[in-house]
Amino acid sequence: MQIGVDSQRAVENKRVFVVDNDDVVSMALQFMLADEMETHVLADSAEALAKGRGAPPDLLLLGAGVLASEGVDVVTRLKEGLGGVKMLVVCTDADDEDVRAALALGAESTLLRPLKVETVRRKVDTQLGRRAPLEIPVVLR
């Protein structure tokens, strides 16, 4: 499922896949990112590989529950099948054994739950090589 971004912005923006077996988390991530990038929520790694064939995403957000249900080798399958896509693992505990294994297999970093919009956008922008907008201080005299 995709929350709409207009076609002009979608061309300019990056493409992100969200693969998490927690629908609430998936929809929250999609909502947090939809105004800035083309975001697709996918049910599992097989759907991600099928959707990414020929047009891989710029970033994949992978839920720790997927690691538990599909095995940590899902990281390798997704990396190889999606052209070395950058990957963030969405989890509640960065010290979880599966999460540490995913990082060892090539996931770039983690997104810790509970999710905060500012943190999600900052980490996603960092992985995509996008710079955050400059904040210009306002000085009142």
The domain ranges of the chain are 7-127
Per-residue pLDDT band at 13 (split at 50, 70, 90)? confident
Model pLDDT for residues 30-62, shown as the tens digit of each residue = 999 998 899 999 999 999 999 999 899 999 999
Q: How many CA atoms lie within 13 A of 82 on its CB side?
A: 27
Q: Looking at residue 54, what is its pLDDT?
A: 87
How far apart CA 89 and CA 70 sit, in angstroms, is 14
Give yes or no for a cis peptide into 114 (omega within 30° of 0): yes
The CATH code of domain 7-127 reads 3.40.50.2300
Listed in sequence order, the residues at least 6 apart from 53 whose beta carbon sits closer than 8 Å to its beta carbon are 81
Question: How far apart are the two ends of the chain, measured CA to CA in Å?
Answer: 49
Q: pTM to 2 decimals? A: 0.85
DSSP conformation class of 53: T
Identify which of 73, 61, 79, 71 has the alpha carbon closest to the alpha carbon of residue 25.
61
Model pLDDT for residues 71-115, shown as the tens digit of each residue = 999 999 999 999 999 999 999 999 999 999 999 999 999 999 999
The answer to whether the CB of 68 falls within 8 A of the CB of 98 is yes
